[in-house]
Amino acid sequence: MSLIEQQLPSIPGKRYFTISETSGLCEVKQHVLRYWEQEFSQLRPIKRKGNRRYYQRHDVLLIRQIKELLYDNGYTILGAKQKLNADENSKQIKESAFKDIEQEVQELIDILD
């Protein structure tokens, strides 16, 4: 658990959060959240009636990760984008490898049956 996550409030078990709730959960001003939406393609809250933003749990976690990269680790916006993209690519590679292993195990099970 990162230093930021230890200091931030816990995320309630709600499905959607308004921008003001998200701002409080991440301790980031609302205008900063709107700016980060423009800069980080991964951050896309749902927009509903009146163009109101509704963030989900994964958005809150992403915002906290962005905040940690920028504020704690000293990344620039560009550096944080690259880090998030690299992490996403790594995650996809790991998921693909896991699926391959899972398929091989299933084939072995089929052979043993």
Q: With a threshold of 0.75, does the pTM exceed it?
A: no
Helices marked H in the chain: 3-7, 19-26, 30-39, 57-67, 77-112
For residues 112 and 18, the model is more confident at: 18
Flag whether pLDDT at 32 surpasses 50: yes
Flag whether pLDDT at 1 surpasses 50: no
Please state which of the ranges 5-9, 37-41, 97-101 shows the lowest mean pLDDT: 97-101
Of how many residues is the chain composed?
113
DSSP designation for 51: G
Q: Strand pairing partners for 48? A: 52
Confidence of residue 8 (pLDDT cuts 50, 70, 90): confident
How many structural domains compose the chain?
1
Question: CA 69, CA 91: separation in Å to the nearest integer?
Answer: 18
Residue 69 belongs to domain spanning: 3-112
Question: CA 103, CA 57: separation in Å to the nearest integer?
Answer: 31
Side-by-side strand order, sheet with 46-48: 17-18, 52-55, 46-48
pLDDT by residue (tens digit) across 39-98?
999 999 999 988 899 999 999 999 999 999 999 999 999 999 999 988 776 666 666 666
Specify the CATH number for the domain of residue 49. 1.10.1660.10
